[in-house]
Structure 1
Amino acid sequence: MQRRLNIFFRKEETGFHGWFVMMLFLAILTGIGLTGCKHKNKTGDAPLARVGDKYLYVNDLKEIIPKGASSRDSLLFCQSYINKWVHTQLLLHQAERNLPEEKLNFQKRLEEYRNSLIIYQYETEYVIQNMDTVVTDKQIDDYYKSHLKDFQLKENIVKVIYAIIDRKREDSHQLEKVFRGMFHLPDSILLDSLENYAPVMAESFSTDTNNWIPFNQVLKVIPIETYNQDIYLKNHRIIRLKDDSKIYLLKFVNFKIKDDISPKDMEANFIRQIILNKRKTEMINQLRADIFKHAIKQKEFEIY
């Protein structure tokens, strides 16, 4: 065992010497500070490192060593931490020596930051406890109609139904005929048919006609080649494509072209958040005004 430890520490002798780290680790495990050091702290703990007049003690490391770590991992952690501490203190020492005094005075900024945090926390709790978070469909509709110019599409969007068949299947030809017939049915019947048969017959499929998706997202699944998306969408309703491994069938249920007005159902969640944020801002402004009015009434402050 001793021979293994010696071999280990010879390998680990980088930065701080292996024997030092071994003493450190023993000190941490036993709770006993390194002996022979002159600069013990108030608890009699011996230092592990010094930069200028700053010392790093054994107790500084005891609480931060990962629980359950092996002896080797703990040693490596201690080595890394001490080296990092030394580098940080050296950099801090250099900064303190070179920065002018006014640059080192953070008291005012810390106080302002603390005040901001306290106010923010209070206002957040007040809003959580008092704000009405219900947004009705009518409120969404009213906002949408009065801000149509703000909802201009930046890309083409679609609602689609599609199915993909694996050409390696022995019955792929028959399946293609079945699905081609389905895709010429009315949308409601097509959706029911796909829900019943596609899980078994298709490699993958989608019947989600409730949500709008970017046309570019469809192109990642269906290998449509088009040089002008606008013209393509206006002139295609049902498409069938093949490549070496798959058969693709797709039906465009609806589409909107870039620069059109975005559909309300696509923007509903965004509008809801806008309305809630507006309520929050108004509530906070009212809270601040009420506090000020109350303070005036109670003569809680004076301006000289």
Structure 2
Amino acid sequence: MKKIKYTGPLKNKALIALCSLIFMASCDLFSIKTEEEDPDNPIVASVGTANLYLADIDHISKDMTTTLDSAELVGRYIQSWVKKQLMIKEASQNLTLNEAEINRKLLDYRYALIAYEYEKNFVEKTLDREVTQPEIQGYYEANKENFALKEIIVRTNFIKLEKSLPQKRQLERLLNSNQEGQKEELKDFAIRYANNYFIEDSTWIKFDDIIINTPLTQNNNQVQLLRNEKLISVDDETYSYYFKILEYRLRDQVPPLEFVRDEISKIIVNKRRVEIAEKLKRDIYNDALENNEFTIYD
């Protein structure tokens, strides 16, 4: 392997060290043509007639905070480049290529990418992301069957506390109470005594999420449990777990609007996005048609 002689300085010492290591370890893979090198832009790797120059990788290290990060990224980039060039070389030797077809596909891809970027920018500038309650309600009513549940959801109050605490009767009384004042007392109780709690009785949540790390995960008949018990109490060796079930929905049932509100909002915004993109294409076409900017021949 020919030794590399650099007549011009490299700005990044890490690049010099890394490239030297790569060259030493890859003598059988790379053939470096020193006679073709620009002193200010030396070759760092080559495969056949394809060369990778320092200028092609110098940008990688500019935004890096440490020499180690820079060297590692440069190494990865060089290895990736070599693999791609080897694949291209292998393909050119074993595949009959239609250069005209390849060029046509490249042009198609380029034009598609330009159109995509313009469309994306136009849509993002035009899109109204504000979704009103009547819009959400209307979509929900028209598409209820599309929201059939795949899991059980509940509205519940949940308290986990140490099994040895003497305040269990007080907790059961608070959980069974429907008085507004005692709801605040339940929150105070949870803050003072509970190891974990969920006091959001207006919020729907997946049942599996609320019972995780409790003995209820071992219950194989959750449906019957929910149907028969409003206040569920289970213990393990250390803790007691209380679930006050206020309301539930089973698998394949339609969830309440509150549970799918965010999902519906995203669907409506995405529909707007599609409609804006389609209108943009129609408007461009109609404007060009009106101004005789194209001709279709029979």
- Is the pair's TM-score, using the shorter chain for normalization, greater than 0.5? yes
Q: 1:182 to 1:45 in 2, by over 3 A?
A: closer
Deviates more, 1:231-240 or 1:293-302: 293-302
Q: Per-residue deviation at 1:187?
A: 6.4
**Which residue does 2:289 correspond to in 1?**
296
Gaps of 5+ in 1: 1-15
| Alpha-carbon distance in structure 2 between the residues aligned to 1:282 and 1:74 | 45
Q: Is the 8 A contact 1:238 1:249 kept in 2?
A: yes
2:184 matches 1:192: yes
TM-score, length basis structure 1 = 0.76
- 2:120 counterpart (121, 124, 134): 124
| Alpha-carbon distance in structure 2 between the residues aligned to 1:251 and 1:218 | 12
Q: 1:81 to 1:245 in 2, by over 3 A?
A: same
- 1:146 counterpart (131, 142, 151): 142
**Which residue does 2:10 correspond to in 1?**
28
2:253 matches 1:255: no
2:198 matches 1:206: yes
Amino acid at match of 1:232: L
- 1:267 counterpart (260, 264, 287): 260
Q: 1:262 to 1:82 in 2, by over 3 A?
A: closer
| Alpha-carbon distance in structure 1 between the residues aligned to 2:148 and 2:60 | 53
**Which residue does 1:91 correspond to in 2?**
87
2:36 matches 1:40: yes
Q: 1:49 to 1:300 in 2, by over 3 A?
A: closer
Q: 1:300 to 1:253 in 2, by over 3 A?
A: same
Deviates more, 1:37-46 or 1:204-213: 37-46
2:169 matches 1:180: no
- Report the 3-state secondary structure (helix = DSSP H, G, I; strand = E; otherwise coil) of the residue aligned with 1:174: coil
| Alpha-carbon distance in structure 1 between the residues aligned to 2:77 and 2:47 | 14
Q: Per-residue deviation at 1:254?
A: 0.9
Q: Is the 8 A contact 1:28 1:59 kept in 2?
A: no
Q: 1:100 to 1:190 in 2, by over 3 A?
A: farther
Q: 1:221 to 1:159 in 2, by over 3 A?
A: farther
Cα-Cα RMSD: 3.4
Q: Is the 8 A contact 1:39 1:46 kept in 2?
A: no
Q: Per-residue deviation at 1:28?
A: 3.4
| Alpha-carbon distance in structure 2 between the residues aligned to 1:292 and 1:231 | 60
Residues 100-148 of structure 1: CA deviation (Å, up to 9, x unaligned): 1127953222222222222222222322333333322112112211222
Q: 1:301 to 1:43 in 2, by over 3 A?
A: farther
| Alpha-carbon distance in structure 2 between the residues aligned to 1:52 and 1:90 | 9
| Alpha-carbon distance in structure 2 between the residues aligned to 1:128 and 1:61 | 33
Gaps of 5+ in 2: 21-31
* Structure whose alpha-carbon radius of gyration is higher: 1
Q: Per-residue deviation at 1:78?
A: 6.8
Q: Is the 8 A contact 1:39 1:47 kept in 2?
A: no
Q: 1:187 to 1:223 in 2, by over 3 A?
A: farther
Q: What are the residue-to-residue correspondences of 1:211-226 with 2, within 5 Å?
A: 211-224=203-216, 225-226=218-219
Q: Give the total of aligned pairs.
A: 277
- Report the 3-state secondary structure (helix = DSSP H, G, I; strand = E; otherwise coil) of the residue aligned with 1:173: coil
